[in-house]
């Protein structure tokens, strides 16, 4: 089966350093694919390359066999790739309704309409409502994002990405920075993502990785170290060595 997202020999150099070193990833459709590795391995760089924020020094990126390497970031969203950021990137002054509404209307192609007032398209609002409820943001939906508790902001971060109805969702440490009390909500949300959405997950928390992922790639120093099914990777002594004593419980 052809992978839905694929990189071919992806390289990214900054000066003399190869942050991404000849990475060839294959992500299958519907997969729950985790990308793990020690700090500084270049995981976020890969996400930035996949989404177009960074241009690769060489190599290709293929979405459903289409070469998207030269395509602008905002256009990749329309092609079906969405991402969340490791540190929340939201619109502080906008409310969750407006934030999600923006993503939905961009997706529906009505985002550039300057002659229509916001809130006049029922199909947009329906979609926004569905997402607000799905992500349990109903009680805070009228508040400016900046005053929301961090856990709610994190949920919004994921909600916004889902609002783009992506084929491939790139989650960059979704539970990062979230207080313990609110973590389970994030994780439950990630678990409940629709099965037809392919998910590439960057995570440090091995509990999440092993409960969620069906395939793991290990990145070390910008290069693919090893990959395989979770139990294969967990048993691999080299992986444990690379993490230097970080216990990996299966």
Partner 1 sequence: MAQPLTNEIARYLAARVRWHPLEIAFWLAALASIFLLTNKHLILTEIAVLALFALSLDLILGYSGIISLGHAAYFGFGGYVAGLLAKHGIVTEPVLALIVSGLAAAVLGFVTSFLVLRGSDLTRLMVTLGVSLVLREIANQLDWLTGGADGLQGVVLAPVLGLFPFDIAGHVAYVYSLIVLFVMFLLARRIVNSPFGLSLRSLKGNPLRASAIGIPVNGRLVAIYTVAAAYAGVAGALLTQTTQFVSLDVFSFERSADVMLALVIGGTGYLYGGLIGSILFKLMQDYIANLTPQYWQFWIGLVLVLLVLVGRDRMTNWTTPIRGLFARIGPRGDHLAEGAQAPAADRP
Q: Which residues bind partner 1 (CB under 8 A)?
A: 51, 53, 72-75, 77-78, 82-83, 85, 89-95, 97-99, 101-103, 105-107, 110-119, 122, 125-126, 128-130, 132-133, 138, 141-147, 160-161, 163-164
* Complex with partner 1: residue 1 or 115, whichever CB lies closer: 115
The whole-angstrom separation of Cα 64 and Cα 61 is 10
Backbone angles phi and psi of 217, in degrees to 5: -115, 135
Residue 209 and residue 203 in contact, taking contact as beta carbons nearer than 8 Å:
yes
In the complex, minimum distance from the CB of residue 146 to partner 1, in angstroms, rounded to a whole number: 3
* Complex with partner 1: residue 22 or 106, whichever CB lies closer: 106
* Complex with partner 1: residue 133 or 231, whichever CB lies closer: 133
* Complex with partner 1: residue 105 or 189, whichever CB lies closer: 105
The whole-angstrom separation of Cα 193 and Cα 137 is 16
Residue 150 and residue 99 in contact, taking contact as beta carbons nearer than 8 Å:
no
* Complex with partner 1: residue 26 or 78, whichever CB lies closer: 78
* DSSP symbol at 19: E
Cα atoms found within 13 Å of the Cα of residue 105, Cβ hemisphere only: 20
In the complex, minimum distance from the CB of residue 176 to partner 1, in angstroms, rounded to a whole number: 16
In the complex, minimum distance from the CB of residue 103 to partner 1, in angstroms, rounded to a whole number: 4
* Complex with partner 1: residue 157 or 227, whichever CB lies closer: 157
In the complex, minimum distance from the CB of residue 12 to partner 1, in angstroms, rounded to a whole number: 18
In the complex, minimum distance from the CB of residue 239 to partner 1, in angstroms, rounded to a whole number: 31
Put the strands of the sheet holding 32-36 in their side by side order.
Answer: 81-83, 168-172, 198-202, 32-36, 215-220, 223-228
Q: List, as one string, the DSSP characters of 93-107.
A: TS-HHHHHHHHHHHH
In the complex, minimum distance from the CB of residue 191 to partner 1, in angstroms, rounded to a whole number: 22
With CA atoms as reference, report the closest residue to 38 among 225, 183, 236: 225
In the complex, minimum distance from the CB of residue 55 to partner 1, in angstroms, rounded to a whole number: 14
The whole-angstrom separation of Cα 107 and Cα 85 is 19
Residue 107 and residue 131 in contact, taking contact as beta carbons nearer than 8 Å:
no
* Complex with partner 1: residue 63 or 132, whichever CB lies closer: 132
110 membership: H or E segment, kind and range: none
């Amino acid at each position: 089966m052809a992978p839905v997202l694929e990189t071919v020999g992806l390289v990214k150099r900054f000066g003399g350093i190869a942050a991404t070193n000849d990475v060839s990833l294959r992500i299958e459709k519907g997969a729950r694919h985790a990308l793990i590795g020690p700090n500084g391995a270049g995981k976020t760089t890969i996400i930035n390359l996949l989404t177009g924020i960074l241009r690769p020094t060489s190599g290709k990126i293929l979405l459903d066999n289409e070469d998207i390497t030269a395509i602008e970031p905002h256009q990749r969203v329309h092609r079906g790739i969405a991402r969340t950021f490791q540190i929340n990137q939201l619109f502080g002054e906008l409310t969750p309704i407006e934030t999600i509404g923006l993503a939905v209307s961009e997706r529906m192609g009505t985002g550039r309409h300057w002659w229509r007032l916001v809130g006049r398209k029922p199909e947009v609002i329906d979609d926004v409502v569905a997402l607000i409820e799905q992500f349990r943001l109903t009680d805070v939906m009228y508040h400016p994002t900046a005053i929301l508790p961090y856990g709610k902001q994190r949920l919004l971060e994921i909600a916004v990405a889902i609002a783009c109805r992506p084929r491939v969702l790139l989650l960059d440490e979704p539970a990062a920075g979230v207080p313990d009390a609110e973590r389970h909500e994030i994780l439950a949300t990630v678990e409940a993502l629709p099965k037809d959405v392919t998910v590439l997950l960057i995570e440090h928390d091995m509990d999440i990785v092993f409960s969620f992922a069906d395939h793991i790639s290990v990145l070390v120093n910008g290069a693919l170290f090893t990959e395989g099914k979770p139990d294969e990777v967990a048993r691999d002594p080299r992986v444990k060595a690379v993490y230097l004593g970080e216990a990996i419980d299966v």
